[in-house]
Structure 1
Amino acid sequence: MGGRSSARDSAGGVVLILPDGRPESIRGPSLLSYAAALPLGRALARAGRADGLVVHPVHYRYRGWNGPEAQPAADATWAADEVVRRYGDVPVCLAGHGMGGRAALRAAGHPAVNSVLALAPWLPEEDTAAEPEPVRQLVGRQVLIVHGTNDARTNPELSYRLAERAKKASRDICRFEVHSDGHALRQYHEEVLALAADFVLGALFHRSYARPVADALAAPPPLGLRMPLAGGFGRSLRP
């Protein structure tokens, strides 16, 4: 987050954008990753302008996750604290891509966070990890995971497994699969942005979700966790 304010600013809700990164690196944040996250931030800001939605990118200290340090998740928690300081008691959505998706899921336990949007999240291999990725912090949060089935950088099956474990503790979790799309989700870019906007506005401002999102949240596994994102989603968001 950037900028300063001498008085408490006004917002109806806040989205914190968490860019992608690398598993290990102590270099500064990647400008390319921030640039890649801008379209999501702009789309959400446009969609939520009438509701007073404010969107802030989070500037990491380092571009790496760096093992148990989980530094992007710590930065996301710091940014959520800053939202409370700047805006007061407003709902916060953590929205991340790749490593930022993992940071969003991990930092969801912050009291101000009511929702998480994780696009193509980078997650550890559960068979080799010292302990499974935590999911308890997702209880009480609205969670949407979106993953391309042809993602060669982050394994979509790992995000399914995490969603499956999380669904046992909380019903407010759904996952969409973008068939034949890759890590950047470029093939169905407009549909992904429309899905993200529908979810964020529903979670932060208590709007009714589009029918596919509502159905995915209500459906038991595996249906609600392997929901296909249909081409043209967003042209008619409401049933």
Structure 2
Amino acid sequence: MGAARLLWPTEVEDPRAIVLILHGGKARSQQAVRPWQAAVWRMAPFARSVTQAGSGAVGVASLRYAVRGWNAAAASPVGDAELAIEQIAARYPGVPIGLLGHSMGGRVALHLGGDERVRAIAALAPWVEGRDPARWHPGLHVLVMHGTRDRMTSPKQSRAMAELMTSQGADVTYVSVQGEGHAMLRQADRWHEESAAFLVRHLLTPG
């Protein structure tokens, strides 16, 4: 088994914020993640959109997990993402971090919502299970986007998580993307631009 890799699609001198891109995966798999897999390359346009929206102020990191699966209680990608946040924080102390995750990556992002170094999250078509707890902290801003025609992950569960977090006092925006499926292809530009704008706005604006 290989190790997770933290890559830097966009490096910025003295960044005001960093966005970490989190790709999707499978419920169970110990297979190594490869760069040519759809879940990985699907996130490249999001990295470019964040770079453009950040106007030279936002660096973009991308995490490639060690294995493709969540793997039940092991929650394999969560540990990889926690380590990536530690590496980013060590490299850029005090710089706010945003998370942008799709599918399993969205679940990873939501699981890291309690980390106070994370100021904003964009969870796109996230994989949410009913037993998943709401994790957040004061000052965190969360965007959840889900297509109404998604058959891979549940829009109902995503909305329920957004409502649970809101009921606890979190700042959560839920966006229902009409007619969109899990791959985010029908309205690709909308997914790219709205998630990037949300993250950049909340990362670069105090409070």
Q: Same fold (TM over 0.5)?
A: yes
Q: Which residue of 1 aligns with 2:158?
A: 159
Q: Offset at 1:207?
A: 8.1
Flag the structure with more relative contact order, 1 or 2, with Cα contacts below 8 A and sequence separation at least 6: 2
Q: Contact 1:98 / 1:121 at 8 angstroms: preserved in 2?
A: yes
Q: Which residue of 2 aligns with 1:90?
A: 95
Q: Give CA-to-partner distance per residue, 1:116-167, whole Å, 9 cap, x none.
A: 110000122x2xxxxx211133553100000000001111101011111111
Q: How many residues align?
A: 196
Q: Which residue of 2 aligns with 1:222?
A: none
In structure 2, how many angstroms separate the alpha carbons of the residues matched to 1:138 and 1:122? 21
The answer for unaligned runs of 5 or more in structure 1 is 4-8, 127-131, 209-239
1:187 and 1:53, CA in 2 relative to 1: closer, same or farther beyond 3 A?
same
Mapping 1:70-109, distance limit 5 Å = 70-109=75-114
Q: Which residue of 2 aligns with 1:25?
A: 29
Q: Give CA-to-partner distance per residue, 1:182-230, whole Å, 9 cap, x none.
A: 001111111222211220111100189xxxxxxxxxxxxxxxxxxxxxx
- Identity among equivalent positions (%) equals 32
Q: Contact 1:149 / 1:181 at 8 angstroms: preserved in 2?
A: yes
Which structure shows the bigger proportion of residues in helix conformation? 1
Which structure shows the bigger proportion of residues in strand conformation? 2
Which runs of 4 or more aligned residues in structure 1 lie more than 6 Å from their structure 2 counterparts after TM superposition?
none
In structure 2, how many angstroms separate the alpha carbons of the residues matched to 1:47 and 1:173? 21
In structure 1, how many angstroms separate the alpha carbons of the residues matched to 2:117 and 2:206? 19
Alignment-mate amino acid for residue 63 of structure 1: R
Mapping 1:26-175, distance limit 5 Å = 26-31=30-35, 32=37, 33-50=39-56, 52-124=57-129, 126=130, 132-175=131-174
1:192 and 1:207, CA in 2 relative to 1: closer, same or farther beyond 3 A?
farther
CA RMSD of aligned residues (A): 1.7
TM-score by length of 1: 0.78
Local SS of the residue matching 1:58 = strand
Q: Which residue of 2 aligns with 1:213?
A: none
1:123 and 1:30, CA in 2 relative to 1: closer, same or farther beyond 3 A?
farther
Bigger radius of gyration, 1 or 2?
1
Q: Which residue of 1 aligns with 2:3?
A: none
The answer for unaligned runs of 5 or more in structure 2 is 1-5
TM-score by length of 2: 0.89
